[in-house]
Amino acid sequence: MKKLFPDKEAFIVFALYIILFVFQGVFITASKTESGGYEYNTTLVVFLSELLKLVISAVLYTYRRKENNPHLFRALFVNRKLLYYYFIPSLLYCFYNNLAFINLSHYDPTSYYILLQFRVFLFKKNLRPIQWVSLGILTLGCMIKNFDAAATRSAGDTDIWSQIFNIYFLSINFQNFCSCLAGTYNEYLLKTKGSNVDIFLQNVFMYLDSVLCNLIMLAAKGEVTSMVDDLASIGDTFVILITVNSAIVGIVTSFFLKNLNSILKTYASALELIITAVVCYILFHILITVHTIISICLVSIAVAMYFKNPVHNVSKSEAESKDKNILNPKSNGVLEVITSK
């Protein structure tokens, strides 16, 4: 367990990450209409969520600011280069968060989270053979669930392949790509260029850029002028829960990437499957099919295999104590992204 979680705080972050993401899928599903759409402006909800994250991060930085740390506005000016660096993950997370609403309108939460596990292909890490086997099992579980979802949607349509490889399949894989690249690049900034910068200040940079990206998206969709009218539609309880929960998820994710790693983040997402399947069955009466059970079992086996052979999270003090001659960027917990083949 020490290899997985360096301290108790890391385990708490891990558990919160899973619980909050399960809630997010449930809240978004509960906010859908009978036709599968939404009665509110989803881009505006993402924008408000990012704005709330920005406010929370700014308040937390000001509240826990150390004596040698500058005030917020001075800190922003001194570390202004980070503002440019964080624009890349902010833009990718902008796409990711908006695509979540689109894909959850087509898939049930369990199928959605299973299909998100395809992002394991986008990681490049020095893994042992047993870890690659676990990733293969995880992928097989995702494929089985995807066939199940496609067969359910076809409802007599013999062309099941067109049901699998449709626009939503492409959409969720683009969402996977955005998640992987943003998470990896964010982890890189947290552990390298921003390693000496307060984590809450880094969050301020991230969410300041995110607010700008979502504002640009609203402008591109021609919805800036209607923002005031759209605000009336976000008074729904579930919409408020989505906004607040999303803000907390963002803060928790930054701690996750700071103290753990993106590979463990992938498997944390896999653990959401079991909880999500049960919760959705209870709340929305979404049937747990044989394919779903097989898929979840395979994912659980993959997770168990990984837990016995985890990627070691080396602390900063441990890394500094090693011989500098054997250190290289790939052994510092920073991940690279490659295209899947």
Give the DSSP per-residue string, 194-248.
TTTS-HHHHHHHHHHHHHHHHHHHHHHTT-STTHHHHGGGGGSHHHHHHHHHHHH
Q: What's CA 23's distance to the chain center, in Å?
A: 13
178, exposed or middle or buried, with CB in 10 Å at 0-12, 13-18, 19+?
buried
pLDDT at position 261 is 67
Q: Which of 242, 196, 257, 200 is nearest to 56 (CA)?
A: 200
Task: Render each residue's pLDDT in the chain as its tens digit; 341 residues.
Answer: 666 677 788 888 888 988 998 898 899 999 988 888 898 889 999 999 999 999 998 998 888 776 667 888 888 888 888 888 999 999 999 999 999 999 888 888 887 887 776 665 555 456 677 777 877 787 777 667 666 655 555 554 545 555 555 677 788 888 888 888 887 887 788 778 877 888 888 889 999 999 999 999 989 888 877 777 777 777 788 889 999 999 998 888 777 867 776 667 666 766 777 788 888 888 888 878 888 888 878 877 876 776 666 655 444 444 444 434 333 433 333 333 332 33
pLDDT at position 2 is 66
pLDDT at position 191 is 76
Cβ(139)–Cβ(117) below 8 Å: yes
pLDDT at position 201 is 87
pLDDT at position 198 is 83
Secondary element (H or E) of residue 97? helix 87-104
CA separation for the pair 250, 91 (Å, rounded): 14
Cβ(72)–Cβ(204) below 8 Å: yes
> What six digits make up the tokens of 81?
């280069």
